[in-house]
Amino acid sequence: MKKIIIVLFLFVCLFLLTQGKEEYIIPDSAIRLRVIASSNTFEDQATKMEIKNNIETILQQDLTKRQTKEEATLNIQNNLPKIKTMLNNYNLDYKMNYGKNYFPEKTYKGVKYEEGMYESLVVTLGSGEGENWWCVLFPPLCFIDESKIENKENMNYAFFVKELFQKYM
């Protein structure tokens, strides 16, 4: 009898532990953004974040209005000359590619970003040997204030992301 109670207790604990950790996998149809720093020096990382902020500023207004992936793609393509002009104001070499780019697997707050080739805007600064910053441009996850999500009752990031994808896809 004691063994049965212990086994049941372990099953209940295992069930409860796995229930609270919902994982959501980002669909292939997302459009991603990645900015890769030249190195991990303070200066290169600061430049990466400044450039990331500038790219977001250029894209944010229109991407938060878009309702389809096709509209988001067109908006990004139309803004590539503005992004290139902004990058040319920095005294550094860079590569910018909008198309299919490789992304390694990542998990962030219960949301899984699978490894693979994704439609994305990738900006590589200098030698591209530093840490990168990434986000999802469509649906517009880049522009979400995460503190507002995490503070809502019964709302977690993975649940919010899942709802956002259902709305846009």
- The per-residue pLDDT of the chain, averaged, comes to 81
Banded model confidence at residue 148, pLDDT cuts 50, 70, 90: low
CA distance 24 to 106: 12
Nearest 5°: the CA angle 18, 23, 25 is 155
- Say what the pLDDT of residue 36 is: 97
pTM above 0.95, yes or no: no
Residue 142 has pLDDT above 70, yes or no: yes
Q: Which residue has the higher pLDDT, 79 or 138?
A: 79
Highest mean pLDDT among 30-44, 107-121, 148-162: 30-44
Residue 70 to residue 83: CA distance in whole angstroms: 19
Q: Which of 5-14, 36-45, 113-122, 139-148 has the highest mean pLDDT?
A: 36-45
pLDDT at 27 over 50: yes
Q: How confident is the model at residue 141 (pLDDT cuts 50, 70, 90)?
A: confident
Name, of 61-70, 111-120, 156-165, the range with top average pLDDT: 111-120
Strands in the chain per DSSP E: 24-25, 31-36, 94-103, 106-108, 111-113, 116-125, 132-138
